[in-house]
Amino acid sequence: MIVRARKTCKVVTEKNVPMKTRDGVTLYADVIRPDEPGRFPVLLSRTPYNKKGTDDPNGPNFLFARYGYVSVVQDCRGRFQSEGEYDTIFQEIADGYDAVEWAARLPWSNGRVGTTGQSYLGLTQYMIACNDPMPPSLQVMAPVSASSDYHASWIFHTGGASLWGWIVPYAIFKGLNTLKRKNRNDLFEKMKEYVEGGEFPLLRQTRFGLNAFTPLTDKWYRHLPIKDWIELLRETAPYFADHIAHADDGEYWYRANVNRHAASVSVPMLHVTSWYDIFGEGAQNAYRSIKTQSKFQKARDGQRLIIGPWGHLLPYTVPSSRGTGDIDFGPAALIDLSETLARWFDYWLKDVDNGVMDEPPVTIFTLGENKWRSLPDWPPPNIRQMPYYLHSRQGANSIRGDGALSTVPPDQENADSFVYDPDNPVPSLGGANLAIDMGVQDQRTVEERDDVLVYTSEPLEQPLEITGPVSVVLWASSSAVDTDFTAKLVDVHPDGYAQNLLDGIIRARYRESASHPRLMEAGRPYKFTIDLWATSNLFLRGHRIRLEISSSNFPRFDRNLNTGEAFGEGVKGIAARQSVYHERAMASHVLLPVMPR
């Protein structure tokens, strides 16, 4: 890595600089810029969380301005100072295009524009990439911690269930931090009418506004029918009704799916995400789809990817994060993201020959070994997909069962079965969450349940590295016409600590297609594929590989009521008997991407 000392500038802020969109709505931005003569490249961020305070001297926008960039932070349409009605996600496609071209014409701009920001500020960048063509003044992007497919990791999740423990508190948060106090109190009273004893959690004030990410009580998450939330959130999140109505993937979501627009992406991107990020699919899939599908060689060659060991929100400057949840991945996990991004922007917007494009395109953090490493591509080209098959003799129910995991295919074995009761779902315990507890947690408490099938390998005689996408091929049946099957990959330490690595879900009606649901025939075995996304983990000598199979992970995912009703309609669930098969003709297994060492 080539690092050169940078000249720093004095900084001045221009408040509430107006911009007109193509449909005549005025959006306002704060411009943090070098306080010296000349024109400079622009770094644009667009936020729904209030641009107020983004000129903090300790923040990245101020830092970029000191490094000689015009840092523009704009309130999104319908948020805080900006005019118009807020329609999350989709409005950012056209508004983002207009903002880039407007920023290029600012009196302090030299016409070269890049974009930056994380979470929703990463979303606003990916939405610009859904324009065909993209804005001509845009030269580079750096989305951090954002989804690139909003049916796969924002409203819903790969496999078709909703991200229930995220979308409800987030919709409340987005509304409450712009409502007047009286309107907030009215909302609280209205919500209490729906759930007896469902006290709303206390809110706390931050410099970004009200924070409603304190988890709702269990009664709120359990409230049925789900469609009641449409009325409850009509004022704070009017778009919520459309999201509930579009549970199937399709044209509604395709317009905001970067991967479906990859051919028209014309600029280099540095994608940043982490193994325990709720939107972790975004960077990985966008990197791959643009690199393989873009019509523009500059874009194909200019994709870069960083995956760290953190949760969702990563501070840009050191100290950043050494992990999330129970495990500290050590000092090596710390990075200075602002400096990383500055090198990226210096190359593309200032023509600084700093060697950034001579480095390998992918940088990841390998858990277990707790080291950064460089790769030639993602997924790694030299991995070997190795199936680990499910086995049991008496039954795999709970950690007390005899469920086993091995590379030996099954012969003739009896199916494992359990009862999934929507009124008693398996509780979420860490994972890639945001509004509920996230990160690494010991899974042994949920593994005590009889409705969790537990399959564990023998202790490893040699370390085993898996790096890349992980999936579960599950042969299963249900007494219901629709249900869910969940899977969780776990690294079991010699002392028994069960470290969650990945989890996923498949809604049975979406087993063939996310766009065209089909109910099941009760009692008939079907083949399900559960996408667990990806990780890089070194299972150390003496550790064991574990796979959990169940039918719920709540409130991370909404409960399937097993009735076959449309999403949001059901008012009461029914219990379902689930069977998981592991025999010669139906060899359920987890497919692990083994990396040679």
pLDDT digits (tens, 9 = 90+) for 415-450: 999 999 999 999 999 999 998 889 999 999 999 999
What does the domain layout of the chain look like in residue ranges? 11-153+252-375, 164-245, 384-594
Query: What are the angstrom distances between the C-alpha of 452 and each of 57, 60, 403?
Result: 50, 44, 11
Structure tokens at 367: 């858990």
Q: Which CATH superfamily is domain 11-153+252-375 in?
A: Alpha/Beta hydrolase fold, catalytic domain (3.40.50.1820)
DSSP 557: S
Catalytic residue among 55, 149, 248, 277: 277
What is the mean pLDDT of the segment spanning 494-511? 98
**What does the pLDDT read at residue 95?**
98
**Whether residue 312 lies in the annotated active site:** yes
What is the mean pLDDT of the segment spanning 229-237? 84
Query: What are the angstrom distances between the C-alpha of 440 and each of 321, 367, 428, 447, 569?
Result: 14, 11, 12, 15, 34
> What's the mean pLDDT when you consider all of the chain?
92
The CA-based diameter of the chain, rounded to the nearest angstrom, is 79
d(CA 151, CA 249): 6
Contact 168, 212 (CB under 8 A): no
d(CA 1, CA 343): 10
Report helix angle 120-128 to 91-104, nearest 10: 80
Q: In the structure, what pLDDT confidence band is assigned to residue 211 with cuts at 50, 70 and 90?
A: very low
Look up residue 501 and give its amino acid: L
**What does the pLDDT read at residue 210?**
38
Q: In the structure, what pLDDT confidence band is assigned to residue 97 with cuts at 50, 70 and 90?
A: very high
pLDDT digits (tens, 9 = 90+) for 335-355: 889 999 999 999 999 999 999
Query: What are the angstrom distances between the C-alpha of 209 and each of 286, 340, 437?
Result: 31, 28, 21
Q: In the structure, what pLDDT confidence band is assigned to residue 203 with cuts at 50, 70 and 90?
A: very low
CA atoms within 13 A on the CB side of 455: 26
pLDDT digits (tens, 9 = 90+) for 1-16: 555 567 899 999 999 9
This prediction has a pTM of 0.95
**What does the pLDDT read at residue 205?**
41
Catalytic residue among 151, 243, 271, 312: 312
Contact 220, 196 (CB under 8 A): no
The number of residues making up the chain comes to: 597
- Residue 528 in this model has a pLDDT that exceeds 70: yes
CB atoms within 10 A of CB 423: 11
pLDDT digits (tens, 9 = 90+) for 248-286: 999 999 999 999 999 999 999 999 999 999 999 999 999
Q: What is the CATH number of domain 384-594?
A: 2.60.120.260
Structure tokens at 508: 């049975």
Catalytic residue among 71, 119, 294, 478: 119
Look up residue 325 and give its amino acid: G
Query: What are the angstrom distances between the C-alpha of 374 and each of 354, 420, 464?
Result: 18, 43, 18
Contact 488, 534 (CB under 8 A): no
Helix (H) or strand (E) holding 340: helix 337-350
**What does the pLDDT read at residue 5?**
66
Helix (H) or strand (E) holding 386: strand 384-391
